[in-house]
Structure 1
Amino acid sequence: MKLLVKAPAKINLSLDVLYKRPDGYHEVEMIMTTIDLADRLELTLLDQNEIKIISHNRFVPDDHRNLAYQAALLLKKRFSVQKGVAITIEKVIPVAAGLAGGSSDAAAALRGLNKLWGLGLTMAELAELGAEIGSDVSFCVYGGTALAKGRGEIISHLPAPPTCWVVLAKPFIGVSTADVYRRLDLGRIHHPDTKKMLQAIEAGQFTDVCSNLGNVLEDVTLKLYPEVALIKDQMKRFGADSVLMSGSGPTVFGLVQHDSRMQRVYNGLRGFCDQVFAVRMLGEQHTLD
């Protein structure tokens, strides 16, 4: 038996860090949405009690470091699953890009294995398990658009943002999320207005969504990696309606409402970056079907 599962990337429309918690994590407030840029996972049921990760991307680990592997192992241990699985990952989302590619792979593995192994778990139960793997996994289990609080595991669902193009550009560098958070000065950050972004999404106002994009991690990454700032400037110059770095970076995305302008932004950025994508927001949550 085989299953194919999509694992879409996410972008942060708003990312705020409120304080450092006693457990060492940061208390965050993030508005995230999934986009039509996705890895594809093929799950093959094995009679042998083992987990195999197969990928042709040299940056994707095939052992316990892989979050999809961790997802499978967590389900096996928690529910005493005696069957195995081979997980083939076709990587499309850039690695270490601030787009939650690894977290989305883990979430897709949870959804797929729930069906493949006949576990009968609800989406909420899968999201709760996902929080044990990584901060973005709970959101990625659901997909769609949501406000995430806590360390990212407390999810409140939102309507889809106004329809638009998302142009993404990733420079050929990787960014350590832990390093960015370590360098974040909580006393000197400019907090985005999460409430206004929520209102803009609820009202379906594209202009208000654009004017309320914000990410407190952006200043840290821009200082460490000037090439990210250059891409952001170029994206604005080519005509994106609004531009922001996603997550801890280094991917920069621009929201663009009109097709002709999207093409101009996309073509212009291809001279600066190898990895440039033009996609739509997905809006819809995943289902267990």
Structure 2
Amino acid sequence: MGKGIADSVLDAIGDTPIVRLSRLEPDLDRELLVKLELLNPGGSHKVRIALNMILEAEKDGELVRGSGQTIIESTGGNTGIGLAMAAAILGYRLVLVIPDNYSPAKQRLLRGYGAEVRLSDHTLGNNSHADMALGLLFDNPDWVMLNQQANPANPAIHERTTAVEIMDALGPRLPDALVAGVGTGGHITGVGRVLAEHQPSLRIVAVQPEGCSLRENRFVTHPIQGLAVGLVPAVLDLGLVSDEEQVSFEDARRMMRRVMRTEGLAVGISSAANLVAACRVARALPAGSRVLTFAYDGVHDYLDALPDEDVAFAEGSLAGEAR
């Protein structure tokens, strides 16, 4: 975040810190780093793409600032928060379509920003909200759909900002592995492209819920919000991906509590899945290797996913979890 006084909250996006996690796996003998994207305004990395998609649409003449035009987007929540923030400041009406099994607290938050929220039936598939949004666009052709899954402004902003921030923070010693969850695929593509140019041996690992595979185009209904949206997104450069790590919901939810108690870091369910995968990837690399992953958002919308205390003690000590 830049110095001085920002003209709006949108000018405070980015420059999130990278933290070394030395207590999560004390005997790991590898360096585990996490970029805290949850410290962005709006609480996630998605605010980066939300603003950039609007700015690019304005450049192309699709949107006119202050016009009150309607933007429609299918979003699992965090992109919606970013869009709602930007729409409130830049003068647009916003309609968001999200699956009906997503956090009620996040739904209330979106409405609080002034967005109109429509709920899709999640039992129709992981991409039910996108299908519903397309139907609404058909009925309202004057609305503008930004389409984060296919919009090149999505990975572009990560190339221009997130990747550059990582390189500035890490200096000449770039990570040996980049571990990132894939929803739209924007950040793993944007960051991966830039880092791979400077570190050709970089291993890029895509995190997916148990039972899902991007390479096999296989998806199942799952409770890890933000990952595996039911298709291989158009903006995802699958050729960058070295490997996939499937993470179960149970392993992710245990990691949520574990990282709170060892590192004082309260992350959401997909971020916890990243940490589970990053620990696995780190153990498979030579001693002294450096692994980078992301904390996308905070725990507040996912408190129901935290294991009960009695279950935690029944399953064993923190040191033995998610290993």
**Which TM-score applies when normalising by structure 1?**
0.27
Structure with the higher strand share, 1 or 2: 1
